Amino acid sequence: MTTKITSGDAIVVDSGSVFSFKDKPIEISLLEGGANGPAFKLKFSFSYDANNSEPKWILGKDNSNVCFHMEFVNCNNPLGAGMLAPVKVASNGKGSSYYIIFMVSSWEQQLSKLFTYTIYRVDRSDDKEGK
């Protein structure tokens, strides 16, 4: 059986939870058109700043072929921290945009992180920048 999930005009293309291996980055590849289609890579990494214990997120691209990169610094809250408003992560040039909502939880700095996410696709006719 195939399931289709929508939220308003947004189509859920993936949703889940994954533990990082230790505190190593998590990468998600969005494949359009099956395994042979173009891929958008999303990367979520984790670090610790001993000089400032405040949690923060750094949004930006890294030097690889990743189209979206977010670094979580000092995110060691067992209750979790994240973004609960859709964040645009990619567009395919054919009128579809991809958004993500996520939370990251951890009990200690050097332990695995629990990353929970939902990825949406919004087609151009419906795309209102995630609103």
Confidence band, pLDDT 50/70/90 cuts, at residue 22? confident
Residue identified by tokens 């939220």 is: 7
Residue-wise pLDDT tens digits, 90-104: 888 788 899 999 998
Q: Which two tokens stand for residue 129?
A: 């920048």
How many angstroms separate the CA atoms of 4 and 77, rounded? 33
How many angstroms separate the CA atoms of 118 and 62, rounded? 22
Residue-wise pLDDT tens digits, 36-81: 666 788 899 888 888 887 878 887 766 666 678 888 887 777 778 7
Domain extent listing, the chain: 6-126
∠ CA(51), CA(27), CA(6), 5° rounding? Answer: 115
Tell me the residue type at 61: K
User: What pLDDT, on the 0 to 100 scale, is given for residue 33?
Assistant: 65
How many angstroms separate the CA atoms of 39 and 92, rounded? 10
Q: What is the 3-state composition of the chain as percent helix, strand, coil, each rounded to the nearest 5?
A: 0, 50, 45
Q: What is the pTM of this model?
A: 0.81
**Exposed / middle / buried, residue 44 (Cβ in 10 Å: 0-12, 13-18, 19+):** buried
The dihedrals phi and psi of 108, each to the nearest 5 degrees, come to -150, 160
User: What pLDDT, on the 0 to 100 scale, is given for residue 121?
Assistant: 94
How many angstroms separate the CA atoms of 44 and 49, rounded? 17
